[in-house]
Structure 1
Amino acid sequence: MPQFAQALARGLNVRHVRFMALGSAIGTGLFYGSASAIQAAGPAVLLAYMVGGAAVFMVMRALGEMAVRHPVSGSFGQYASKYLGPFAGFITGWTFAFEMAIVAIADVTAFGIYMGFWFPDVPRWIWILAVVFFIAALNLMKVKVFGETEFWLSLIKVSAIIAMILGGVLIVLFGFGLPAEANPGFGTLLAAGGFFPNGFWGLLASFSIVMFAFGGIETIGITAGEAQNPKDVVPKAINTVPIRILLFYVCTLGILMMIYPWNQVGTEGSPFVQIFDSLGIPAAAHILNAVVITAAISAINSDIFGAGRMMFGLAQQGHAPASFSKISRHGVPWMTVLTMGIVLLAGVVLNAVLPESLFLIIASIATFATVWVWVMILLSHISMKRTVKREGLLASEFPSPWWPAASYVALAFMGFVIVLLGIIPDTRIALIVGAVWIAFLFVAYKVWVRGKGHERAELIDETGRESVPAEAH
């Protein structure tokens, strides 16, 4: 059994973790993907964000309860190993890494689109290549540098969204910059077909993009292995999830659709930029484009961090190459960062080959991977709760609310989203790719892990020691 003496540096404080959570939750899914969701559901997309957000909050509370009990690197990948079995841990960890890789490709794709607003004649892949090298270099520095960078990047986009909401309220109230015949407010919001213009089916169709927008928020759990005080930091970050969803998704998109008819929001660039540009405020459009570029960089930053730390945890369990557990003098798993950088280079190729249709394909595949990981988190949490009760262990310090009803309802909803991916023609490829991916992992586990005797079910802390006794499986 290999030993890992080196430890990840605990350099993330409350401020870092809280804004990292914002970084993962406010990115391409909001600034770019929201256009597709709006086109699918119309104003009803606001309901989709609230329903999806409630389910995601229950996932995060389940994750938070486990992270406070077991603050380890690898987070929910190791929880799945302990409470559901080594294969579940293997499939969860690698699917999360796959999710982060796919989401990162979507984020770098959006970055290239945003840069096209200023430089329409420059090929998109050039910008993507540049940002991949920049983010990879940033992630090789000390984790405190990463945390500080993410803090400031997130602060910029959060401040911009709040300013935009306030500005949008003024436009709705006083009609600044709008033509005389405009009717900002609920009149514009409901003018093109009411609240459900595309019917209930349109609401359902929007869920694939809506859930993609929340993808990566589970990275909060990954930070437990590098947070200075995870039992204090993680609950504070998770408890801000509902207000973030209401403010940054529901309020923001509601204001936008009150200013500009939802059925005229296209997918050429960020809808935020498009709306303000159409209002005849070019300076605001340029400022907002700078903001969405900042948001994309922040999201890519979080993607690489999350995937890298998960692969580090997998290596500690014998579920990934041992080289992934190598740590630099800065306390960073450098091999996993380089691996993610190489994977993102695929985004350069894909954007050169499929510049037009790439985003929706990637978003739907990422949604499958994201929801699969959330299902495994919920199942791990349910198993943990049963274990705690059966063995009479100490009560959780951060228990998930409304147990067990809310956990099972959230689990059923996630299963429903996966079914939707297969029903809707535009996202069906996600279910096909997902099935192939799960089958590939099954074969890889049988051949590489179990076949070579690497199977382990312990929870491994950041020093390589078992943090709790292993359960029998």
Structure 2
Amino acid sequence: MSTQASTASAPRSHDELSRNLSSRHVQFIALGTAIGTGLFYGSSETIQAAGPAVLVAYLIAGFMVFIVMRALGEMAVRYPVAGSFAQYSNTFLGPFAGFLTGWIFWLELAVVAIADMTAVATYMGLWFPGVPGWLWMVLAVAIIGGLNLLAVQVFGELEFWFSLIKVVAILALVVGGIGLILWGANVGGTTPDIANLWQHGGFAPFGLWGIIMSFSIVVFSFGGVETLGMTAGEAGNPERSIARAVNSVPFRILLFYVAALAVIMAIFPWNQVTGESSPFVEVFAALKVPAAQHIMNFVVLTAALSAMNAIFYAGSRTLYGLAEQGHAPKSFLRLSRRSNIPVLPVMAMFGVAVVGLFLFIAIEKRLFFYVAAIATFATVFTWLMILLAHWRMRSLIKREGAAPGSFRSPLFPVLNAIAIAFIVFVIVLLALTEGGRSAFIVGVSALVILAIGYALFVKGHGRERLILTPRE
């Protein structure tokens, strides 16, 4: 495939998505999807895996996220299309790669949407213990799904405010926690002290192996930031908004995760962070914040709704992009007349919610196990395909002598090679460790099933190879 072919204009037989997402929307969409309930209630798992040295794992993984985001950002600014990285894989790596990338990412979104639905039921249970959880799930799906059928600005504005609540909660923890450390106030029977980061067995109580073992959990916590690429087809000024988001969001996420966890482990010795209660609740209680538990319940409820909102959006745009490639039904390309929303892909996400509702009723105790397994593998696989597609694009640009883009990934191909090696290492880690083996098996099984589906239903049956047009 030549670069000339990949950059030629292609006729479209369907309407275009509206470009109504502002720079503010794009930045908070990417920020919000990567800061979820895992930070508020699941951070104890990473702390127990490596002790305070988990901060090193977050720094390393955060740098890898930045490399992936710069690669994705360069492609998204040059080719701002819906379903972005699946379409880039399709164009630069071939239709089969595009099919796998798009559907494995959609599968990740589908299972995480189910997890967030169950989280909503759990959090509402604190306030209304007598109400069945499935009722809250139905209500959440109806509200979030209905809003996603409106104009894309509605989605962007909703996600902005959802994400802002999470960001304010994290900043309040960091600032308030630093105050507790400086005052030496008693918190839960312990005295906050920065020395807690290297006492109690040292900074790395489990050594290098502890840091390595935490990587699979840490990488998963950053999963979702690639949703930024989904906004490329509807960003009002992709050259400005996506470039700004790529440059700022990874550092902001890193700041929130590293700063928040460092403060938590300075207040509570790492071996006392057991996960039985949220460290956020205990810190806010020590700051004499009234009804700290209920405030945090509101925050995590908002986080779950924010994730559902982003997933409905990203999942529907992924299906739209797959349809453009010929890898999903053509009916998915039809847009609503008033708001230019891909209605059938959004309705497909409603279908996912119905399946999730039945799974919640049938296998509630095992549901999160399967969700985490699929999502962990899908995250690293998606990042790998983004980096490979970007490498192929840069090679074609150089070979054909095409004009370079305005937003280029730095130090290519060195940083790409480092990030690819890191991702392969994480995949191997999943395969060889007891805790990650289930994720590897489920992920590989999903790829095999998708490969069979491609051979039976797509290959040789009128598939399209998307022709991308660089934005001037």
TM normalised by structure 1 equals 0.92
Give the equivalent residue in structure 1 for 2:6.
none
Question: What residue identity is the alignment partner of 1:450?
Answer: K
Deviations 1:106-148 (A, max 9, x none): 3233333333343445444333232122211111111011111
Q: Secondary structure at the match of 1:218?
A: helix
Which residue of 116, 119, 125 corresponds with 1:107? 116
Determine the C-alpha separation between the residues in 2 that align with 1:211 and 1:117: 30
Determine the C-alpha separation between the residues in 2 that align with 1:351 and 1:266: 26
Give the equivalent residue in structure 2 for 1:76.
85
Q: Does 1:291 align with 2:278?
A: no
The answer to which of 349-358 and 245-254 deviates more is 349-358
Aligned residue runs from structure 1 range 108-127, under 5 A: 108-127=117-136
Q: Does 1:241 align with 2:249?
A: yes
Q: Secondary structure at the match of 2:458?
A: helix
Deviations 1:183-237 (A, max 9, x none): 3122333343222223333222222221111111111111110011111110000
Which residue of 193, 196, 203 corresponds with 2:204? 196
Give the equivalent residue in structure 1 for 2:460.
451
- Percent of counterpart pairs with the same letter? 52
Give the equivalent residue in structure 1 for 2:193.
185
Give the equivalent residue in structure 2 for 1:315.
323
Give the equivalent residue in structure 1 for 2:30.
21
Deviations 1:431-467 (A, max 9, x none): 111111111111111111113122x22235xxxxxx2
Determine the C-alpha separation between the residues in 2 that align with 1:451 and 1:432: 29
Shift of 1:3: 4.8
**Count of equivalent residues:** 461
Determine the C-alpha separation between the residues in 2 that align with 1:98 and 1:70: 24
Q: Does 1:5 align with 2:14?
A: yes
Which residue of 300, 305, 310 corresponds with 2:308? 300
Which residue of 94, 98, 110 corresponds with 1:89? 98
8 A Cα contact 1:53 1:242, kept in partner: yes
Distance 1:121 1:195, change over 3 A: farther
Determine the C-alpha separation between the residues in 2 that align with 1:283 and 1:186: 27
Determine the C-alpha separation between the residues in 2 that align with 1:342 and 1:129: 12
The answer to which of 231-240 and 186-195 deviates more is 186-195
Question: What residue identity is the alignment partner of 1:247?
Answer: L
The answer to which of 221-230 and 119-128 deviates more is 119-128
Distance 1:320 1:268, change over 3 A: farther
Distance 1:114 1:427, change over 3 A: farther
Which residue of 226, 231, 237 corresponds with 2:239? 231
Give the equivalent residue in structure 2 for 1:30.
39
Q: Does 1:218 align with 2:231?
A: no
Q: Does 1:144 align with 2:144?
A: no
Q: Secondary structure at the match of 1:89?
A: helix
**Structure 1: 5+ residue runs without aligned partners?**
461-466
Which residue of 138, 146, 153 corresponds with 2:162? 153
The answer to which of 127-136 and 405-414 deviates more is 127-136
The answer to which of 259-268 and 73-82 deviates more is 259-268
Deviations 1:259-303 (A, max 9, x none): 123223334564423554588756222212211211111111111
Question: What residue identity is the alignment partner of 2:80?
Answer: P
Q: Does 1:339 align with 2:344?
A: no
Question: What residue identity is the alignment partner of 2:234?
Answer: E
**Structure 2: 5+ residue runs without aligned partners?**
1-9
The answer to which of 378-387 and 23-32 deviates more is 23-32
Distance 1:203 1:90, change over 3 A: same
Which residue of 202, 208, 231 corresponds with 2:216? 208
Deviations 1:315-360 (A, max 9, x none): 0111101121121121111111111122133333333344445435
Give the equivalent residue in structure 2 for 1:389.
398
Distance 1:360 1:34, change over 3 A: farther
Distance 1:364 1:274, change over 3 A: farther
Q: Does 1:260 align with 2:248?
A: no
8 A Cα contact 1:74 1:311, kept in partner: yes
Determine the C-alpha separation between the residues in 2 that align with 1:192 and 1:375: 37
Give the equivalent residue in structure 2 for 1:324.
332
The answer to which of 282-291 and 301-310 deviates more is 282-291
Distance 1:105 1:264, change over 3 A: farther
Determine the C-alpha separation between the residues in 2 that align with 1:442 and 1:2: 29
Question: What residue identity is the alignment partner of 2:404?
Answer: A
8 A Cα contact 2:324 2:466, kept in partner: no
Determine the C-alpha separation between the residues in 2 that align with 1:298 and 1:345: 19
Determine the C-alpha separation between the residues in 2 that align with 1:468 and 1:231: 11
8 A Cα contact 1:33 1:213, kept in partner: no
The answer to which of 71-80 and 281-290 deviates more is 281-290
Shift of 1:40: 1.6
Q: Secondary structure at the match of 2:243?
A: helix
Determine the C-alpha separation between the residues in 1 that align with 2:440 and 2:350: 26
8 A Cα contact 1:113 1:269, kept in partner: no
Q: Does 1:52 align with 2:61?
A: yes
TM normalised by structure 2 equals 0.92
Shift of 1:159: 1.6
Shift of 1:19: 0.8
Distance 1:325 1:434, change over 3 A: same
Determine the C-alpha separation between the residues in 2 that align with 1:212 and 1:62: 19
Give the equivalent residue in structure 2 for 1:463.
none
Q: Secondary structure at the match of 2:462?
A: coil
Distance 1:115 1:193, change over 3 A: farther
Question: What residue identity is the alignment partner of 1:433?
Answer: V
Deviations 1:38-80 (A, max 9, x none): 2222212211111111101100000011111111112111111
Question: What residue identity is the alignment partner of 2:152?
Answer: V
Distance 1:185 1:245, change over 3 A: farther
Question: What residue identity is the alignment partner of 1:14?
Answer: S
The answer to which of 264-273 and 315-324 deviates more is 264-273
Determine the C-alpha separation between the residues in 1 that align with 2:240 and 2:271: 44
8 A Cα contact 1:78 1:459, kept in partner: no
The answer to which of 39-48 and 81-90 deviates more is 39-48
Determine the C-alpha separation between the residues in 2 that align with 1:255 and 1:212: 22
Determine the C-alpha separation between the residues in 2 that align with 1:452 and 1:336: 21
8 A Cα contact 2:30 2:245, kept in partner: yes
Give the equivalent residue in structure 2 for 1:432.
441
Question: What residue identity is the alignment partner of 2:381?
Answer: W
